[in-house]
């Protein structure tokens, strides 16, 4: 039936059938062994996904593998990376752990990869140690004021700057190698002892825990920008790669970091550089204190990483739409982890498998077929830089941008079990609210996920009053990046997260360590798996509504509200920027005004229509306007210096203002330099932005 | 009615109502005075178009003006540009005409603009004259072998190189100024005398005739790349403009060119440099023959052009679609001319007005409303670089790319009255054939436009046998450029043209001169206006079919045929290129293969469907695939050095092979230089191309 709308009783069936025990079972299966991208463990999860999605009782219409030949970086198992303290007489005074300490069979698995910094160059460097705080440009600048950094090794803590940036920022000062560790202050609320405080006694990171990670700046396979990484695809020369560490870098545990930092000489670092150790964090002489046994010793960093092309798999599954098969709702998560990855990403993968299992059963039992097509994506090699999802969007750019209604990302489904967290385009806000109101909050019988969320995080909307706060997807933190920034697809990212009054941890403490295991998830993150269940119910409800609603549940007036809030900040910034009078802000004001009136007009047109009883091309026309709204904000020339960023509203920004990113960065730069050329660039950004918003308004305005 | 298809009887009504007398009347009105862009004459045509399109009996639903503030270049009426021969003692021995000779009131009009090279810099230059053939790179290179070109003035003939290129190519050799003229061999089949051979006795160019033109490389307003040229829009600094003459250049008549060339000294130029004058074309000493009265004299070039921002208008008119208002068929032509512009562009404008008049009457009488929306565009400032149409596509980029089914361009409607000429995407070929089969050939009662065309220009299609030859729109010769290359909209350009056995003229001889008048059109180009009528019938028939057919009349298998023909040439090129074995051609072969099978599959799906009786979303889905096919070939990064070129199949190419342009140029360069970096670029182009063709295939393949 062409005019078929969402069936609310079917939504209730779906919610009822989502089973926490099933999720637990999926998680147990997925985390049996480490499954770093392209390893045998990863291949096992590929087969596992395929089996589930091809299951005759609860599978999808079709499931298959898509492979890409991508550039990955690994440590050499035969020559482990090493960090040592070496005396002038070459005696080794201290050796950092090569593996994390074992508390059970998971850590004993020989497939646990040594902690390393993916894409760090190989090399041996030795030098006096300095402490460089978070490795931000301002950190090295300050350090350089009193110390000659040439030939030094810098130790930095995670946070404040991107992983690769800690080395990229260091190199210009002559630093030859970098160490990075997680400070207990930043991850463990200060706790440090594995005798009783850290895992396996709690969710906190044990002293030997090390956050692995990809040390790159741009997302996607590095050798094949804008091209799917297939066998014969052109690859840029390895020497042309940008955004990776120019000098060796290696992550270590805070146990070893303490040994080094507590012995550092030199002046005491500023208060905001101090961490959780019971010692003063000094800059370093450079090097260690005269009184230390390490006096005059150097730190030696040996990195044996190598990079090579590997075949990485996405597993894809589809349910074909009955009425509009040419409209896609995509639901995805990565499948690869650093080690066992129970939380990252398998919590999300388990949730996705439960959503697809319940929908697959409804499908196979003949109870349901969606109005629009549903695509599930289990992306490969996300940990190395969102590679699987990025290559997928490059290969299928045309059909995805022509037909995709929305993308739902659930990576880490449960960081903690306090409250829902959602980020996405403003047009999705109301849909997420609707879905969250139909789901019971875990552990709170009479409260909905929505009401619980409202208590933890809210804001006042001019149109709706107090509502939960939905974040924006301005960065490239998970696989939504290519969908948002490259394709301009309306996207969201969902999870359950912390009570921020109870922890200051940067992220859940086992993140990217050998302790992110089923045991950890089941005992400390979500005992009973009810938060997983709530996320599955919420995300699945959103998915069903996107796939089945006659009118797409996307609200363009909520988009206008966000643009107006950005505009208000932009106007303040403009006023105080000292912009020359030749640069008028009027085109931006008028573009946002046009967008608002277009949104109002479309909403009234929808309200005044009886869509189920008018010609089916009318609702299709409106749905096309709503679907293409985010596409209208794309400008491939807006950010020539940011790879894969084309959406002018949600790009990343360094200026730190809640406003249009290109505008914010360009005005901040011009305002600070006062150079005519920088003002010209600011004016250019203003015109790009105004035209894009006007273009988006034209997408919403009456079609002719 | 949602399933309403094209009404053939309505097509017949349309054809019957297209009136040659009406076209003649429109042309007479439009060409009363010169109407160069933004002049009072242009403003009069703006009002004229508005009146016709707002006429209560035969107008459209709505018509309005869109203005852009664009950068135009003009001669100074108070200080006319001058070309003189100056003796060493400063005596002026010869002065070139400042105006073309008058043969009637049209040439006497004070609004006839002095012949000039728009965007030539102002400046006075004096130097010894040399003859540089067509001003191609190879021409100056040859000349430079025997002559020191520093400080010289070069005289060149039109043809072989773009207008601006004649100066751009000259400057590196130290040439300080350039003259350009139209050689009688190239335009007049050798005839030269206005006593009996040229206009007003025939269509040939009189001796004083001068082709004006825009001397630029990129299309659109030069100061606002990719941004609509509105009041507050960012403009690049004038110094940053590229692609315009770096040294003064001025066009002159062949009468004056003869005076100069016939006196040139030096060696005799090669045979293919010789033109139609009854003298040997020498290189120049540099300078004139010792025996000449000009011996030792220099040529002095004084250019007083100035550039400024002017408001240029597009006139827009629409007929709202009844069933799919959100699908557009666009029909356009520029309105501005250099002088009276009877042929260029008013022949096309008269045809457009007749098409809109007949459709407007059917509309106002309640006999018809199209299924899809129709947009008419009367573009401004085309002569300065397709400016009005380019700015329009920049401003309305989003909605035009979301919704436009096709663009029909009819600029010069009638070059001559021998045969139809058509260029466009291969998917439109069959539609043009269908339309042309329903129109009688002018002056040939029992022959159709199609049959007549087939006699003049044909080719053998693997699928269809002998068919008329439809050209490709690879360049930027008229307002289709932004639609084809920037927006990726399926486009065509239609006209009536020469019997090439009867003339070798580069173009109709009055092109861009003061002789392109109503008198010229009515007496020499199309007496009785029956060729205009045939073009109006053919173009209008195409328009009606695009607007009213239930299934879009776009054939994707014909596109596959063109790709296969390009592939065959590419394979030959690849074989002989000496490409290293690491660059495989297989991805391109397999992409074209995938495209063919996708096209076959879609055609079979269409054939097996009963679209009028199935759900209306099915035909919409197929129509979307067909509409978006050309969009799928866009890659904004494919041609970083070519402004506004994004369609990987139809971009301009310098390699001169009938194959994929980026591939052809890159392989030619690499093959010739042998440099590894050039081979890398060739490989990159191959990957871009293969991925784009695959993407287009995905647009055609079953939607999920
Ligand atoms: Ca890639
Ligand atoms: Ca522009
Ligand atoms: Zn993750
Ligand atoms: Zn991760
Ligand atoms: Zn023209
Ligand atoms: Zn012209």
Query: What is the per-residue DSSP string for A504-544?
Result: --SS-TTTTSTT-SHHHIIIII-GGGHHHHHHHHHHHHHHH
Query: How close does chain A come to B359, measured CA to CA in Å?
Result: 18
3-state secondary structure of A626: helix
Sign of CA dihedral B112, B116, B122, B124: negative
Helix runs in B306-385, H state only? 346-364
Q: How far apart are CA B192 and CA B207, in angstroms?
A: 6
Closest to B531 in 3D by CA, of B417, B420, B409: B417
B558 lies within 8 A of chain A by CB: no
What DSSP assignment string belongs to A81-130? Answer: -EEEEE-TTS-EEEE--SSPPPSSHHHH-TTSPPP-EETPPPEEEEE-EE
Ligand number nearest CA of B412 is 5
HSE-up of residue A382 (Cα within 13 Å, Cβ side): 29
3-state secondary structure of B445: coil
Looking at residue A444, its pLDDT comes to: 81
The residue from B100, B211, B255, B382 that is catalytic is: B382
Q: Which residue has the tokens 């993150």?
A: A525
Q: What does each C-alpha distance from A660 to A60, A196, A654, A690, B703 come to in angstroms?
A: 40, 47, 11, 10, 35
E strands within A153-269? Answer: 153-157, 177-181, 213-214, 249-251
Ligand number nearest CA of B413 is 5
Assigned token pair, B45: 């045509």
Helix runs in A222-347, H state only? 254-261
The string of pLDDT tens digits covering residues B251-268 is 999 999 999 999 999 999
Looking at residue A126, its pLDDT comes to: 98
B317 chain-A contacts, CB cut-off 8 A = none
Q: B661 near B650, Cβ under 8 Å?
A: yes
Assigned token pair, B526: 């199309």
A680 lies within 8 A of chain B by CB: yes
B694 chain-A contacts, CB cut-off 8 A = 395
Looking at residue A445, its pLDDT comes to: 79
Residue B64, H or E segment: strand B62-74
The vertex-A40 CA angle with A34 and A44, nearest 5°, equals: 80
What strand order describes the sheet that includes B404-409?
B62-74, B306-319, B372-379, B324-334, B404-409, B491-497, B419-424
Q: A204 near A254, Cβ under 8 Å?
A: no
Question: φ, ψ for residue B128 (rounded to 5)?
Answer: -70, 145
Looking at residue B656, its pLDDT comes to: 87
Question: φ, ψ for residue A126 (rounded to 5)?
Answer: -140, 135
Question: φ, ψ for residue A518 (rounded to 5)?
Answer: -55, -45
3-state secondary structure of B53: helix
Q: How far apart are CA A699 and CA A87, in angstroms?
A: 68
B373 lies within 8 A of chain A by CB: yes
Looking at residue B445, its pLDDT comes to: 79
The vertex-A702 CA angle with A698 and B4, nearest 5°, equals: 125
In angstroms, what is the span from residue A395 Cα to ligand 1's centroid?
8
Pairing type for strands A491-497 and A404-409 reads parallel
Q: For residues B638-659, b (16+ Cβ closer than 10 Å) or e, as one string?
A: bbeebbbbbbbbbbebebebeb
Sign of CA dihedral A155, A159, A162, A165: negative
B612 lies within 8 A of chain A by CB: no
Assigned token pair, B351: 């045809």
DSSP B266: S
**Radius of gyration (Cα) for chain A, nearest Å?**
26
In angstroms, what is the span from residue B544 Cα to ligand 4's centroid?
56
Query: How close does chain A come to B272, measured CA to CA in Å?
Result: 42
A369 lies within 8 A of chain B by CB: no
Q: What does each C-alpha distance from B447 to A20, A540, B455, B535 come to in angstroms?
A: 77, 65, 11, 15
Q: How far apart are CA A565 and CA A563, in angstroms?
A: 5
Verify whether the Cβ–Cβ distance A703 to B403 is below 8 Å: yes
3-state secondary structure of A388: helix
Verify whether the Cβ–Cβ distance A328 to B704 is below 8 Å: yes
The string of pLDDT tens digits covering residues B110-164 is 999 999 999 999 999 999 999 999 999 999 999 999 999 999 999 999 999 999 9
Mutating which of A68, A229, A326, A594 best tests the B interface, going by the most B Cβ atoms within 10 A?
A326
Q: How far apart are CA B698 and CA B568, in angstroms?
A: 22
B678 lies within 8 A of chain A by CB: no
A309 lies within 8 A of chain B by CB: no
Compare CB distances from B687 to A227, A326, A584 and report the shortest one's residue: A227
A396: left (phi over 0), alpha (psi -120 to 50) or beta: alpha
Sign of CA dihedral B651, B652, B654, B660: positive
A382 as an active site residue: the answer is yes
Verify whether the Cβ–Cβ distance A234 to B394 is below 8 Å: no
HSE-up of residue B473 (Cα within 13 Å, Cβ side): 33
A686 lies within 8 A of chain B by CB: yes
Looking at residue B385, its pLDDT comes to: 98
In angstroms, what is the span from residue A414 Cα to ligand 4's centroid?
13
Q: How far apart are CA A35 and CA B468, in angstroms?
A: 61
Q: Which residues contact A98 (CB under 8 A, 6 or more apart)?
A: A80, A81, A82, A114
Q: Which residue has the tokens 């011009």?
A: A670
HSE-up of residue B588 (Cα within 13 Å, Cβ side): 28
Upstream peptide bond of A434 is cis (omega within 30 degrees of 0): no
Compare CB distances from B402 to A226, A686, A699 and report the shortest one's residue: A699
In angstroms, what is the span from residue B395 Cα to ligand 2's centroid?
8
3-state secondary structure of B303: strand
Sign of CA dihedral B540, B546, B548, B549: positive
In angstroms, what is the span from residue B333 Cα to ligand 5's centroid?
8
Q: How far apart are CA B558 and CA B463, in angstroms?
A: 8
Looking at residue A639, its pLDDT comes to: 97
B234 lies within 8 A of chain A by CB: yes
A584 chain-B contacts, CB cut-off 8 A = 232
Parts of chain A with a pLDDT under 50:
none
DSSP A632: G
The vertex-A685 CA angle with A679 and A691, nearest 5°, equals: 140
Q: How far apart are CA B526 and CA B506, in angstroms?
A: 18
Output helix, strand, coil percentages for chain A, rounded to the nearest 5.
40, 20, 45
Cβ neighbours around B38 below 10 Å, total: 21
Compare CB distances from A326 to B624, B632, B680 and report the shortest one's residue: B624
The string of pLDDT tens digits covering residues A287-328 is 999 999 999 999 999 999 999 999 999 999 999 999 999 999
Looking at residue A656, its pLDDT comes to: 87
3-state secondary structure of B422: strand
Looking at residue B623, its pLDDT comes to: 98
The string of pLDDT tens digits covering residues B515-538 is 999 999 999 999 999 999 999 999
3-state secondary structure of B334: strand
Q: How far apart are CA B425 and CA B479, in angstroms?
A: 15
E strands within A391-449? Answer: 404-409, 419-424
A694 chain-B contacts, CB cut-off 8 A = 395
Q: How far apart are CA B23 and CA B543, in angstroms?
A: 18
HSE-up of residue A575 (Cα within 13 Å, Cβ side): 6
Q: At what angle do helices B530-548 and B8-17 cross, to 10 degrees?
A: 150
Which residues in chain A (630-659) have CB-CB distances under 8 A to chain B?
A: 631-632, 635-637
Q: How far apart are CA B418 and CA B508, in angstroms?
A: 13
Q: B534 near B440, Cβ under 8 Å?
A: yes
Parts of chain B with a pLDDT under 50:
none
Q: At what angle do helices B530-548 and B20-30 cross, to 10 degrees?
A: 100
Q: B180 near B158, Cβ under 8 Å?
A: yes
Closest to A166 in 3D by CA, of A225, A244, A263, A283: A244
Task: Name the burial class of residue A341, with classes exposed (0-12), middle (13-18) and buried (19+) by CB atoms within 10 angstroms of its CB.
Answer: buried
């Amino acid at each position: 039936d062409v005019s078929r709308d969402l069936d609310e009783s079917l939504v209730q069936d779906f919610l009822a059938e989502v089973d926490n025990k099933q999720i637990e079972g999926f998680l147990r299966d997925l985390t049996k062994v480490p499954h770093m991208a392209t390893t045998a463990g990863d291949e096992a999860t590929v087969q596992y996904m395929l089996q589930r999605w091809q299951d005759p009782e609860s599978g999808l219409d079709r499931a298959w593998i898509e492979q890409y030949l991508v550039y990955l970086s690994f440590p050499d198992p035969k020559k482990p990376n090493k960090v040592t303290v070496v005396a002038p007489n070459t005696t080794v005074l201290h050796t950092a752990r090569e593996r994390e300490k074992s508390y059970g069979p998971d850590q004993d698995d020989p497939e646990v990869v040594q902690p390393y910094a993916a894409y760090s160059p190989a090399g041996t460097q030795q030098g006096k140690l300095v402490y460089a705080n978070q490795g931000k440009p301002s950190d090295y600048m300050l350090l350089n004021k009193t110390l000659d950094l040439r030939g030094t090794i810098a130790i930095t803590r995670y946070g404040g700057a991107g992983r690769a940036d800690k080395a990229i920022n260091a190199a210009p000062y002559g630093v030859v190698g970098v160490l990075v560790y997680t400070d207990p202050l930043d991850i463990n609320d200060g706790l440090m002892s594995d005798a009783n405080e850290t895992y396996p006694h709690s969710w906190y990171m044990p002293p030997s825990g090390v956050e692995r990670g990809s040390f790159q700046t741009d997302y996607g396979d590095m050798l094949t920008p804008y091209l799917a990484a297939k066998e014969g695809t052109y690859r840029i020369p390895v020497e042309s790669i940008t955004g990776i560490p120019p000098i060796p870098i290696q992550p270590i545990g805070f146990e070893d970091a303490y040994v080094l930092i507590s012995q550092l000489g030199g002046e005491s670092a500023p208060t905001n550089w101090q961490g959780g150790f019971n010692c003063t964090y000094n800059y370093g002489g450079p090097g260690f204190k005269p009184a230390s046994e390490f006096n005059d010793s150097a730190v030696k960093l040996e990195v044996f990483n190598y990079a090579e092309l590997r075949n990485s798999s996405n597993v894809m599954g589809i349910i074909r739409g009955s009425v509009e098969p040419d409209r896609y709702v995509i639901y995805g998560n990565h499948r690869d982890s650093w080690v066992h990855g129970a939380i990252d990403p398998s919590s999300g993968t388990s949730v996705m498998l439960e959503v697809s299992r319940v929908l697959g059963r409804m499908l196979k039992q003949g109870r349901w077929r969606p109005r629009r097509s549903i695509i599930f994506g289990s992306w490969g090699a996300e940990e190395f830089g969102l590679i699987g999802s990025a290559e997928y969007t490059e290969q299928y750019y045309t059909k995805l941008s022509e037909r995709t209604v929305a993308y739902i990302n659930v990576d880490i489904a449960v960081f903690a079990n306090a409250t829902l967290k959602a980020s996405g385009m403003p047009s999705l806000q109301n849909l997420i609210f609707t879905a969250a109101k139909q789901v019971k909050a875990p552990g709170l019988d009479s409260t909905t996920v929505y009401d619980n969320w409202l208590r933890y995080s809210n804001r006042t909307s001019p149109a709706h009053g107090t509502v939960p706060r939905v974040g924006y997807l301005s960065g490239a933190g998970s696989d939504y990046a290519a969908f948002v920034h490259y394709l301009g697809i309306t996207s969201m990212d969902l999870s359950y997260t912390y009570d921020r009054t109870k922890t200051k941890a940067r992220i859940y403490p086992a993140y990217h360590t050998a302790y992110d295991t089923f045991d950890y998830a089941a005992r400390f993150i979500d005992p009973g798996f009810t938060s997983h269940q709530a996320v599955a119910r919420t995300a699945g409800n959103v998915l069903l509504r996107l796939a089945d609603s006659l009118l797409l549940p996307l609200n363009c007036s909520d988009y206008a509200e966000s643009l107006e809030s950005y505009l208000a900040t932009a106007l303040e910034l403009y006023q105080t920027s000292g912009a020359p009078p030749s640069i008028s802000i009027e085109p931006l004001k008028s573009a946002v005004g046009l967008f608002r009136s277009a949104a109002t007009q479309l909403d009234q047109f929808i309200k005044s229509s009886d869509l189920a009883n008018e010609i089916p091309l009318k609702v299709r026309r409106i749905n096309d306007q709503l679907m293409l709204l985010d596409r209208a904000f794309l400008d491939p020339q807006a950010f020539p210096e940011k790879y894969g960023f084309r959406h002018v509203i949600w790009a990343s920004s360094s200026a730190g203002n809640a406003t249009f990113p290109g505008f914010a960065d360009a005005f901040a730069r011009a305002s600070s330099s006062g150079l005519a050329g920088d003002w010209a660039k600011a004016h250019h950004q203003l015109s790009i932005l105004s035209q894009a918003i006007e273009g988006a308004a034209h997408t919403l305005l009456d079609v002719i």
